[in-house]
Structure 1
Amino acid sequence: MNYFITGGTTGIGFELVKLYLSQGHRVAICGRDLSKLPKGFHEQHKKALWVYQLDVSDREALVKAVTDFTEKAEGLNVMIANAGRSVGSKSNIPDFQSAKEILETNVLGVLYSFEAAMQHFVSKKSGQLVAIASVAGFVGLPGAGAYSASKAAVVRLCESWSIDLKPLNISVSCICPGFIDTPMTQQNTHSMPFLMSGEKGAKLIGKAIESKRALYLFPLRMNLLITFLSLLPRFVYRWLMGLQTFNYSKQS
């Protein structure tokens, strides 16, 4: 199997890279900063690992990289749009520049990743598109408006396309983790309930991708919590999350 993973130099993406390489698959990754890869990792896996330096918001560069990998590896089976941005210090005053960057990476990055893969999937009527979203896509979290909005967009995009692309034998999977211990979540200054290791998270994600789950929220306790919060009347949710106990945005 051939996998292309965006944002594969660190965090969940890198854990997935290690998982798939250990299973004997061929993997391509892209990232803005390749120095985040452990020293010697690429050389150690050179026969099965392709590495591209690019930003997923650069549509042309991403299409070029996916095409290059597909030609050299003789095919593409799974595109995993994993690259993402967040803000560790969550202020109640929106940072509009950060919001713009989050939306560009988390929404356009997924869109461009899927577009690059679709060029190859449509012709052969086979393939799998995977987006790493978040449980934050189901509620508006305090201090994380842009992040929550970006993940909500990805959830709905995947839901629609899972219907549209089924006749073409192209499956779409939306993976929504809770808190995973990664460099991105380590920026957070608030508590992170049900925190899970990156390695364990990658194994669960790998199983969900393999079984072609259309939507996968995990861990179970976070799934139940987010489902409960999403079903509350919105005025009750806003009141609850505005309480000091739950509102972890920094007041200015």
Structure 2
Amino acid sequence: MTQPLAFITGASSGIGQALALHFYQAGYRLALVARRTSEVKSWADAHGISAASYEIYSADVSVVDSIVAAGTECISRQGLPDVVIANAGISVGMDTAERDDLEVMVRTLATNNTGMAATFHPFVQGMTQRRSGTLVGIGSVAGIRGLPGHGAYCASKAAVISYCESLRGEMRPHGVRVVTICPGYIDTPLTRQNRYSMPFLMQPQDFARQAFQAITRGDSYRVIPWQMGVVAKLLRMLPNALFDRLLAGRPRKRRQNEPAN
């Protein structure tokens, strides 16, 4: 119990597992949250993570009562975390002309936005009373400028950035840090479905190392890798007419049930 504790959602694959492994190697105990708990257990065993160093919680972050219950159980079983990382998210293409895709947007916002607030909720009061702790929201460079065919995802990640900025101001007087991490393209099962070029593609372990540094420093906002931060800022500065022309004809994110080719 003397070791710090990190609570991480979306721990069954990709960025979540990379972050979990890096925090474990840095001496943290882990509270790992996922819908597919058996996959988390297999992964932890394969990486030699001590059984005494972690607990697994089954939850669906898109269901408020589910993720709140997981956070409450974590406090009961492992204590109040030092770091909470709201990493769980989904990314599916959207076409507003398709009725079914409106449900994609509902599900995306429920997972990426309401799910983030619900992830933080069980810990806010305890952290403010303790006057320490770090809440980490995983955004995306896709939240900086809207991309064709990415309406639901871009909107959700723009909301992550604004939400964390609001929360940061609320928590600051209480000694609780709020960190926004915006990944660029990370080589995960999620991004491997993309059918467009992905500049500055990063390996998950490299992302996790840089994210860990930003989190432990208490950076308010960080784009990883930094090159994508530069690209995003340049895109943000482009006039709309030039931005629209630049992205015209760009392949769109694959929609649900859409064939790979």
TM-score normalised by structure 1 residue count:
0.91
The 1-side partners of 2:122 and 2:79 are apart by 16
Greater mean deviation of Cα atoms: 148-157 or 183-192? 183-192
Query: What secondary structure, in the 3-state scheme, does the structure 2 residue paired with 1:50 have?
Result: strand
Question: Which residue of the partner structure matches residue 151 of structure 1?
Answer: 157
Query: What secondary structure, in the 3-state scheme, does the structure 2 residue paired with 1:39 have?
Result: helix
- For 2:179, which of 169, 173, 192 is the aligned residue? 173
Question: Which residue of the partner structure matches residue 10 of structure 1?
Answer: 13
1:202 aligns with 2:205: no
- For 1:57, which of 43, 55, 62 is the aligned residue? 62
Cα deviation, 1:153-196, whole Å, max 9, x if unaligned, reads 01011112212211011110000010000111111122111100
CA separation of 1:44/1:138 partners in 2, compared to 1, >3 Å: closer, same or farther? closer
The 8 Å contact of residues 58 and 70 in structure 2, kept in 1 or not, is answered as no
The 2-side partners of 1:35 and 1:178 are apart by 29
- What is the count of residue pairs matched by the alignment? 248
Unaligned runs of 5+ in 1: none
Query: What secondary structure, in the 3-state scheme, does the structure 2 residue paired with 1:83 have?
Result: coil
1:129 aligns with 2:132: no
Question: Which residue of the partner structure matches residue 115 of structure 1?
Answer: 121
Cα deviation, 1:5-35, whole Å, max 9, x if unaligned, reads 0111111010011111122211101111123
Deviation at 1:200, TM superposition (A): 0.5
Question: Which residue of the partner structure matches residue 259 of structure 2?
Answer: none
The 2-side partners of 1:79 and 1:136 are apart by 22
The 2-side partners of 1:119 and 1:186 are apart by 39
Question: Which residue of the partner structure matches residue 41 of structure 1?
Answer: 44
Amino acid at match of 2:19: L
CA separation of 1:44/1:129 partners in 2, compared to 1, >3 Å: closer, same or farther? closer
CA separation of 1:90/1:65 partners in 2, compared to 1, >3 Å: closer, same or farther? closer
Amino acid at match of 2:233: T
CA RMSD of aligned residues (A): 2.1
Cα deviation, 1:184-241, whole Å, max 9, x if unaligned, reads 1111122111100011011111111011110001212211111000111223212221
Deviation at 1:38, TM superposition (A): 6.1
Query: What secondary structure, in the 3-state scheme, does the structure 2 residue paired with 1:199 have?
Result: helix
Deviation at 1:85, TM superposition (A): 0.0
1:233 aligns with 2:239: yes
